[in-house]
Structure 1
Amino acid sequence: MLRVDREPSLNIACVGAGYVGGPTCAVIAHKCAHHRVTVVDISEERIAAWNSDELPIYEAGLSDIVKECKGRNLFFSTDVDGAINEADIIFLAVNTPTKANGVGAGFASDLTYLEAAVRRVVKVARRSKILVEKSTVPCRTAESIAQVAAANARPGVHFQVLSNPEFLAEGTAIHDLLHPDRILIGCMPTEDGLKAQELLTNIYAKWIPRKKIIGMHLWSSELAKLAANALLAQRVSSINAISAICEAVGADVGEVATACGQDSRIGPHFLTASVGFGGSCFRKDILNLVYLSNALKLPQVAKYWEQVNLMNEYQQHRFSKRILAALFNTISDKHIAVLGFAFKKGTSDSRESPAINVVSDLLSEGANIRIHDCKVPSKQIFRDLACSLANGRGSVEVCETPYQAAMNAHALVILTDWADYQTLDYKAIYCSMSKPAYLFDGRSIVDEQEVRQIGFDVHIIGRARERSLPRLYQNVLADSRAVV
């Protein structure tokens, strides 16, 4: 195995130039100028974008770091074999989507790209290397990687496999990389495994306190990634379930969340009701847990975690139905302005965005949708909605400004919590819309009283349209007065 020096100058390669590999390696290059970092991908288009001034993904601060390091000790290339040959450490950051066909379809991760990457590494490598899992993978995937590597390696070439899961929140990925809550590095508790773990620890220790770098067993590290995302998603679905009750009884989910968040045992994080969670991780990781639980003959555990995803889907469709009901149960040929298509603010990523389901529901009713988003390109929006447009009766137009989207619209629907949407001239928007003008806030970002005074018919997630006493309590109150 590699000798662990105090300050070794290493060649680091990353296979996969996506949302994980690109930012992670950019920060490593930024903080470890003595290491050479090369990000490789078979997509010429993606690598060309990384080498241009228009990066393929948006993250605050990423462009500045890439510009500083690119050509110095950070490189983006399609020469996969060359980077593998030169590397001491290879990060595996390829896509592991949910399987669409075969055993486990709809739940299990498709490891085709990961296995292909491992086989290519082993085929090319002429000396021993450390392989680092960065892709989100099912528990014990490292065992499969090690078996493939051992069975195909050249004589005298050995591979150590580490698990180093990412915990990046899109929109704050660079901050998360620079100031992580923790870094997990899982290894097999062998002499060579522990040496490899220490080598990777030394890289991160250049800017992260060692107390935040946690060594553990491979299986624990792999499972911790799935568990963390599942627990976070569970909180979102839980408060969204409460939001449905709030709307029914006239409570305010924001007030309920504040009351619960003040409890030190619960805390305030991830208790903001919304139209639902999205992104590439939450849904996929929960489905992985469901599949794993069923495979381990734990059906009750599987059903528990599956309900988190079902609740998220219910919330999105429930919001769509609220829009339809308010607009007199008919939106055919009506114009609806949608503000936000990214799954959250601060990112151009629209994977699993709640906007996809909501817009698709509206299209199925024949609505004409105008969409504005601060970062998601129009071609991505149309790609995400391709099936819905083919099967729906409505239309989609992507607008350059929120004001263009709202012109003559019957309703304004906020689906992403971009800060820009909090400071819009809602009075001007109201004046440009058809009347009555409806505003549906799926992210609770507008000042309800202010926009209501402008004239909007306001519907905010987790709040009843009018906070009057529900009929049940009105009847009880009337009966008590009659007795008096």
Structure 2
Amino acid sequence: MNIKNICCIGAGYVGGPTMSVIAKFCPDIQVNVVDINHKRISQWNEKNLSDLPIYEPGLREIIEKCRGKNLHFSTDLKKNIEKADMIFISVNTPTKIRGIGSGQAIDLKYVEASSREISKYARGHTIVVEKSTLPVKTAQTIKAILDAATEDVNKSKITKTFSVLSNPEFLAEGTAISDLENPDRVLIGGEDKEAINELVNIYSKWIDKVKVLTTDLWSSELSKLISNAFLAQRISSINTISALCEATGARIKDVSLAVGMDRRIGKYFLNSGPGFGGSCFKKDISNLVYISNHYGLFEVANYWQKVLDINSWQQKRFVELIVKKMFGTISSKKIAILGFAFKANTNDTRESPAINICKKLIEEGAFLKIYDPKVKEHQIIKELGLNENNKEHRDWEYSNSIHKTFKDVDAALFLTEWCEFASLNWRDISKIMRKPSWVFDTRSIVDMDLVKENGINIWQVGYGN
């Protein structure tokens, strides 16, 4: 085959950036990103590039260069599936909320629906690539649907065949473009060597082939799940040590630095904070727990469940600490929330630690003033479970000015490590906060000494203070 046309089903945090980078480095390939969400596609096609649905450093420049040339965003699934040589499935794979496996197993309804659309409209030989985070053996589901379609058309004159590959994403939000342009590795799993080579040839346009690993389907699917589990495990591990540092008077930054310098361990994912968030970690570990229980590996399931438990415990611990420091009650007190995205350099709020922490603070009676440089008000309303059309009776307000966020508040709580939070004018801030004022820094982002010099009490994660 000679791949000339790619279709990606799903214009979200994986599909949009991934296809943009492919379009950038493969100008001879037409890349079409399709989604049934009309609003999202409209945002991808906005003339004002500041209104793109996803914020990622470097993404805007690629969209500006490629959109309308060899990168297109559309809601026309039928047309773009029909002409595609290769189709990426990059749809949402949420955790089931009801039925067998509720709260742990991944709901594959969108993957199945996409597979049925492909089976209906594809023509000729089509390479179908799993890009979404999926449980092991999902390729069997996709193959079964596609094979059934092949059998149905055998009686007609339509030629329709498929090859299924697994090509999991290993992106970190906030660095997705650089991760795509210079990845640690690209993993491709499959049984059809010719199809694998076609995908390898696409990536080799800008990635050294040494970094492209090929394996079987099941190993590829499981590798993605385990990579996320190991990263989340490190976060939960260092967060337990932050509590120990606070109890003993040790300094978490010094401990992390010393541990990270051991080349067997490495320095990454050793920053203590309010816990992990995003679309993958909690979902993937929950699925790993479910799979382990399914195969009777109960000790394995209990081990990974503890990684999730520690994540929740860290957030609960922070809220209890805030209440304790503020004379045992935060009822009717105002608290500034600095950062709502689950990490810096993204506008993604899915599973953000800020959601659970804010809800608990509101339950304790606090009034919140929430500021995030990239998260819109409607996102916060949705995440806190509120009705956007009935906002007058609520216990928080949205702030679009970092300075105003501090006005008349009793405390400021830092939940996202945005760079702008590291260089605040604490002299001016101290004048507009209500005394005695507190700063609670869950990200070790602010200068503790500078805060103290301006008469503000401060607690910082992993420090005995």
Structure-1-length-normalised TM-score: 0.92
Answering whether residue 38 of structure 2 is matched by residue 44 of structure 1, we say: yes
User: Does the CA contact (< 8 Å) of 2:3 and 2:85 recur in 1?
Assistant: no
Aligned counterpart, 2:300: 301
Q: Could you tell me how far 1:9 is from its partner in structure 2?
A: 4.8
Q: Which runs of 5+ in 1 are unaligned?
A: 466-484
- Whole-Å Cα distance in 2 between the matches of residues 307 and 79 of structure 1? 44
User: Does the CA contact (< 8 Å) of 2:3 and 2:198 recur in 1?
Assistant: no
Aligned counterpart, 1:166: 169
- Whole-Å Cα distance in 2 between the matches of residues 310 and 98 of structure 1? 17
SS of the residue corresponding to residue 158 of structure 1 reads: strand
- CA deviations 1:396-447 (Å, max 9, x no partner) are 1010112111101000100000001111111111110000110000100111
Answering whether residue 17 of structure 2 is matched by residue 23 of structure 1, we say: yes
- Whole-Å Cα distance in 2 between the matches of residues 262 and 28 of structure 1? 35
Match 2:129 to one of 128, 132, 136? 132
Which piece of structure 1 moves more, 155-164 or 127-136? 155-164
Q: Could you tell me how far 1:298 is from its partner in structure 2?
A: 0.5
Match 2:54 to one of 57, 64, 71? 57
- Alignment RMSD: 1.3
Answering whether residue 118 of structure 2 is matched by residue 121 of structure 1, we say: yes
Aligned counterpart, 1:206: 205
SS of the residue corresponding to residue 275 of structure 1 reads: coil
Aligned counterpart, 1:434: 434
- CA deviations 1:298-319 (Å, max 9, x no partner) are 0110111111111011101111
User: Does the CA contact (< 8 Å) of 2:3 and 2:86 recur in 1?
Assistant: no
Mapping 1:327-406, distance limit 5 Å: 327-386=326-385, 395-406=395-406
Larger-gyration structure (1/2): 1
User: Does the CA contact (< 8 Å) of 2:83 and 2:123 recur in 1?
Assistant: no
- Whole-Å Cα distance in 2 between the matches of residues 73 and 46 of structure 1? 19
- Whole-Å Cα distance in 1 between the matches of residues 344 and 162 of structure 2? 40
Match 1:67 to one of 60, 64, 68? 64
User: Does the CA contact (< 8 Å) of 1:363 and 1:394 recur in 2?
Assistant: no
Aligned counterpart, 2:446: 446
User: Does the CA contact (< 8 Å) of 1:185 and 1:197 recur in 2?
Assistant: yes
Match 2:94 to one of 92, 97, 107? 97
Q: 1:139 to 1:9 in 2, by over 3 A?
A: closer
Aligned counterpart, 2:274: 275
- Whole-Å Cα distance in 2 between the matches of residues 246 and 279 of structure 1? 26
Name segments (4+ residues, structure 1) moved above 3 Å. 387-390
Q: Which runs of 5+ in 2 are unaligned?
A: none
The letter for the 2-side match of 1:199 is E
- Whole-Å Cα distance in 2 between the matches of residues 460 and 450 of structure 1? 13
User: Does the CA contact (< 8 Å) of 1:337 and 1:370 recur in 2?
Assistant: yes
Aligned counterpart, 2:187: 184
- Whole-Å Cα distance in 2 between the matches of residues 426 and 216 of structure 1? 54
Q: 1:337 to 1:388 in 2, by over 3 A?
A: farther
Q: Could you tell me how far 1:126 is from its partner in structure 2?
A: 2.6
Count of residues in correspondence between the two structures: 453
SS of the residue corresponding to residue 220 of structure 1 reads: helix
User: Does the CA contact (< 8 Å) of 1:99 and 1:107 recur in 2?
Assistant: yes
Instruction: Give the share of equivalent positions with the same residue, in percent.
Output: 49
Structure-2-length-normalised TM-score: 0.96
